């Protein structure tokens, strides 16, 4: 069974470019190096024909279907694609019975279930006995977390492989392939003429595709077909043409260039300046331009610590929750969690006291001798250590009425140093009162409780 053949007599245009350009071997496959680079376990299993049932979990357009086809091709297995949207239990049983017959004839069957998360419990249960007996090798593909969408018994009988979205450079490589390939791609000059697309435009298409190879292929194919040949027969792809194909404006953005740093700077400074409207604008502009949501989530976590700090301890919790939500749900729905956190940070009371304190400690570490830990703060875990003075003079705070002591805890050269100086903003005003209270208690602390 040739998984990669084009139907005879059909024009290339009748088959989408994304389908025509599917890699046929692991060496052609782009991305997923953590699974498929030479020597990696999954590649090793495929090359040694030792595959077992698995679930490929990853975002759209990262190569799940293509990888399943390559596995079937390399292991000389019958490949049966199965749609979770269109198939029911009756169809499952028919396919399983045919697979059992093929196995008896010495032929292995790989059943590829696209969007396996859409199967209900009863439909997933129908696979169990056949997977258990080894009648089939099941390869499921899902964009959703299998832990929540695949039943436990089926999950325990499969190996889950997590695939990653392709990065921009990988997508640009695929677009170059499509433009150069005369057999399967857009490189046939007799059919398309010469196609002119500069590197910046390919980068824009890759950025908008947001890790999805299918989306990148669809965009450039539509742009080529829509482009009007010039007097020399060339199809020149332009930014306005791509924007027209996408039915939206492609915002000026380069994830690694100056504009990237300009925009994240604008977002950070808007949060610091407590401007929720500007915060929301810059965040949305970056997301809509194709920025990685998790990059923005990481920056929000930093803002929570650097610019809000202990003036609102809940800010960090909300930023972490938004990061987890964005990762779990994915764009575009997950973008709202980031927007919620960003606006919260903008409106939160501000303090950089913790940030300043950390920097002051760093400065002392670089400018002073790293003194040994004072003996009274060391644990005497052996007799020799105890005899050497470890732990001598230590005062256990819980034994004292004030729950603190006058025992110094900094190295001798830094005694009396104050690093953390809370402001009067938000919760830090309460922390300042606590610091003063603990100082008063230390001054009163003299004797242990009886």
C-alpha distance from residue 422 to each of 111, 134, 344 (Å): 62, 65, 21
Q: What is the CATH superfamily name and number for domain 356-444?
A: DNA polymerase III clamp loader subunits, C-terminal domain (1.10.3710.10)
Q: What is the mean pLDDT of residues 135-148?
A: 87
Q: In 3-state terms, the chain is what percent helix, strand and coil (to 5)?
A: 55, 5, 40
Q: What percent of the chain has pLDDT over 70?
A: 92
Query: What confidence tens digit (pLDDT) does each residue in 308-361 have?
Result: 999 999 999 999 999 999 999 888 889 999 999 999 999 999 999 999 999 999
Q: Is the per-residue pLDDT at 35 higher than 90?
A: yes
Q: What is the mean pLDDT of residues 270-287?
A: 93
pLDDT of residue 255: 58
Peptide bond before residue 332 is cis, with ω within 30 degrees of 0: yes
Q: Is the per-residue pLDDT at 7 higher than 50?
A: no
Query: What confidence tens digit (pLDDT) does each residue in 71-96 have?
Result: 999 998 888 887 765 566 777 777 77
- What mean pLDDT value characterizes the chain? 87
pLDDT of residue 86: 58
Please give the CATH architecture assigned to the domain spanning 31-162.
Answer: 3-Layer(aba) Sandwich (3.40)
Is the pLDDT higher at 127 or at 325? Answer: 325
pLDDT confidence bin for 254, thresholds 50/70/90: low
pLDDT of residue 10: 46
Is the pLDDT higher at 28 or at 188? Answer: 28
Give me the residue spans of the domains in the chain. 31-162, 168-246, 258-347, 356-444
The side-by-side arrangement of strands in the sheet containing 109-114 is 78-83, 109-114, 137-142, 54-57, 159-162
pLDDT of residue 4: 53
- Domain 258-347's class? mainly alpha
- Domain 168-246's class? mainly alpha
C-alpha distance from residue 381 to each of 1, 373, 385, 389, 390 (Å): 69, 15, 7, 11, 9
DSSP code per residue over 36-96: HSTT-HHHHHHHTT----EEEE--TTSSHHHHHHHHHHHTT-EEEEEETTT--HHHHHHHH
Q: What is the mean pLDDT of residues 420-438?
A: 90
Is the pLDDT higher at 250 or at 345? Answer: 345
The Cβ-side half-sphere exposure at 306, using a 13 Å CA radius, reads 12
427 contacts 312 by C-beta, under 8 angstroms: yes
pLDDT of residue 13: 55
In a 3-state reduction of DSSP, which class is residue 26?
A: coil
- CA torsion angle for 297, 302, 303, 307 (degrees, to 10)? 170
Q: Is the per-residue pLDDT at 224 higher than 50?
A: yes
Q: What is the mean pLDDT of residues 377-404?
A: 89
Q: What is the mean pLDDT of residues 211-221?
A: 92
Q: Is the per-residue pLDDT at 14 higher than 80?
A: no
Q: Is the per-residue pLDDT at 253 higher than 70?
A: no
Is the pLDDT higher at 84 or at 398? Answer: 398
Q: Is the per-residue pLDDT at 246 higher than 70?
A: yes
Q: How many residues does the chain have?
A: 450
Question: Hey, what are 203's tokens?
Answer: 């980068």
Query: What confidence tens digit (pLDDT) does each residue in 159-174 have?
Result: 999 999 898 899 999 9
> What one-character DSSP code corresponds to residue 448?
B
pLDDT of residue 175: 96
pLDDT confidence bin for 118, thresholds 50/70/90: confident
In degrees, rounded to 5, the angle at the alpha carbon of residue 384 between the alpha carbons of residues 382 and 385 is 65
Counting beta carbons within 10 angstroms of the beta carbon of residue 357, is it exposed (0 to 12), middle (13 to 18) or buried (19 or more)? middle
């Amino acid at each position: 069974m040739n998984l990669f053949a084009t139907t005879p007599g059909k024009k290339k245009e009748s088959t989408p470019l994304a389908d025509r350009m599917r890699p046929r071997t692991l060496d052609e496959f782009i991305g997923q190096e953590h699974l498929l680079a030479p020597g990696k376990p999954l590649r090793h299993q495929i090359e040694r024909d030792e595959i077992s049932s698995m679930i490929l979990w990853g975002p759209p357009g990262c190569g799940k279907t293509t990888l399943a086809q390559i596995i079937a091709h390399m292991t000389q297995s019958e490949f049966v694609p199965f749609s979770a949207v269109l198939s029911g239990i009756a169809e499952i049983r028919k396919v399983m019975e045919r697979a059992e017959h093929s196995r008896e004839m010495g032929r292995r069957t790989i059943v590829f279930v696209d969007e396996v998360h859409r199967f209900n419990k009863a439909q997933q249960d129908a696979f169990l006995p056949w997977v258990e007996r080894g009648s089939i090798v099941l390869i499921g593909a899902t964009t959703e977390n299998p832990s929540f969408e695949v039943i436990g018994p089926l999950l325990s009988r499969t190996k889950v492989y997590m695939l990653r979205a392709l990065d921009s450079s990988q997508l640009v490589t695929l677009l170059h392939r499509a433009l150069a390939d005369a057999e399967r791609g857009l490189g046939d000059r007799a059919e398309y003429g010469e196609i002119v697309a500069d590197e910046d435009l390919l980068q824009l298409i890759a950025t908008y595709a947001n890790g999805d190879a299918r989306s990148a292929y669809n965009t450039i194919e539509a742009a080529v077909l829509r482009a009007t040949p010039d007097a020399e027969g060339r199809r020149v792809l332009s930014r306005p043409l791509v924007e027209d194909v996408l039915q939206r404006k492609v915002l000026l953005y380069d994830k690694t260039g100056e504009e990237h740093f300009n925009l994240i700077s604008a977002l950070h400074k808007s949060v610091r300046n407590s401007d929720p409207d500007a915060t929301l604008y810059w965040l949305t502009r970056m997301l809509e331009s194709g920025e990685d949501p998790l990059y923005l989530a990481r920056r929000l976590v930093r803002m929570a610590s650097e610019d809000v700090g202990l003036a609102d301890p809940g800010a960090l919790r909300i930023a972490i929750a938004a990061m987890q939500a964005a990762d779990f749900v994915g764009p575009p729905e997950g973008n709202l969690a980031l927007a919620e956190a960003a606006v919260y940070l903008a409106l939160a009371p501000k303090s950089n006291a913790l940030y300043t304190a950390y920097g002051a400690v760093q400065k002392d570490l670089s400018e002073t001798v790293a003194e040994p830990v004072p003996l009274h703060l060391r644990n005497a875990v052996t007799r020799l250590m105890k005899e050497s003075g470890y732990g001598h003079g230590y005062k256990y705070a819980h034994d004292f009425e004030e729950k603190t002591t006058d025992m110094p805890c900094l190295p001798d050269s830094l005694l009396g140093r104050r690093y953390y100086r809370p402001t009067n903003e938000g919760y830090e005003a309460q922390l300042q009162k606590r610091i003063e209270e603990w100082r008063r208690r230390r001054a009163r602390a003299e004797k242990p409780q009886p």
